[in-house]
Amino acid sequence: MTFKPFLLALALAAAPQQQASPPLQPPLSGQPPAPVEYILGPQDHLQITVQGVAELTREVALDQDGSFDFPYIGRISAGGKGVRAVEADLKSRLSPKYLVNPSINVEVKSYRMQNVYVFGQVARAGMVKIQANANLMSVLAEAGFNNRAGSTITITRWPKGTKPTGGSATNAPNAEVITVSRRDLEQGRAQSILLQEGDTIIVPESEKFSIQGEVRNVGLFELDAEMTLQQALAIAGGVTDRGAKNRIEIQRVGIAKPFKNVKMTEVIKAGDIITVPKRRL
């Protein structure tokens, strides 16, 4: 597998971009993405536009409690809400006492800074400071993702008020663990995975498998996600003329007896030892 397209995509993800509405948060179960509204918090800056009323059109910054002041109606609580909820709150409090059916638009002008943590196969492990709309791909680019990464990357999302413990969810049983395949990264789908304050990203080393016997190149090879026996044999240069494709065996970690007469559609696991025997004379 070549990593050049992926590394290029990471570089593009790290490049400065114009502010935009946060992308959709993809379900990691294979279902189509569903819209997830960005949740506001302290230090977010909002652009509030009240159509036709210049004195009420302004930029505001959310205080540490997630609220801000607004003319006529006083303190508005925005922390923990999306912009549509803030729009609705402003409209209900301005109408009909001050304005009749006002048209109000709220947008995020700039996003607050948050801390996430990256460990494993990256050049710069540790804390990464991000804007609150940053996605997984841009953070990996900033941390210096390398091509020794394994087939899956995990994001540990800690319950609110829980201090991250370096990636292990053992001490926080309620932590959410999100698994992202390297294939999703390579195909750009990780651009829609938004990160949250305290997220801990673990980039493991690539898994390996080995092939011995009647193949053109015996040895240890890097495992790709959902790799089949047929693909594994192709990486090893294919079976030689002396090899018996119908009697291939796989010795799997944790299983005493090898699988015999394995089909070409068998998915290879980390640590598998594939043996291609000679054909019987």
Mean pLDDT, range 137-166, rounded to an integer: 76
Mean pLDDT, range 177-182, rounded to an integer: 83
Residue 163's pLDDT band (boundaries 50, 70, 90)?
low
- Are 125 and 202 a contacting pair, CB within 8 Å? no
Q: Rounded to an integer, what distance in angstroms lies between the CA atom of residue 111 and that of residue 242?
A: 63
pLDDT of 53 reads 93
Which token pair is 16?
A: 């400065």
Residue 66 has pLDDT above 90, yes or no: yes
Alpha-carbon dihedral 98, 102, 108, 112, rounded to 10 degrees: 20
Integer angstrom CA distances of residue 166 from 10, 114, 207, 210: 24, 16, 22, 32
Which token pair is 129?
A: 């400071």
pLDDT of 29 reads 41
- Are 156 and 144 a contacting pair, CB within 8 Å? no
Q: Which residue has the higher pLDDT, 234 or 26?
A: 234
Domains of the chain, CATH where assigned = 4-11+112-203 (3.10.560.10), 45-110 (3.30.1950.10), 208-276 (3.10.560.10)
Residue 180 C-beta-side C-alpha neighbours within 13 Å:
29
Q: Rounded to an integer, what distance in angstroms lies between the CA atom of residue 193 and that of residue 155?
A: 10
Residue 25 has pLDDT above 80, yes or no: no
Residue 113 has pLDDT above 90, yes or no: no
Whether the link from the prior residue into 96 is cis, omega within 30° of 0, is: yes
pLDDT of 248 reads 96
Q: Please report, rounded to a whole number, the percentage of residues in the chain having pLDDT higher than 90.
A: 47
pLDDT of 121 reads 86
Q: Which residue has the higher pLDDT, 191 or 179?
A: 179
Q: At CA 22, angle to CA 153 and CA 183, rounded to 5?
A: 25
From 37-41, 109-113, 244-248, the region with the lowest mean pLDDT:
37-41
Residue 62 has pLDDT above 90, yes or no: yes
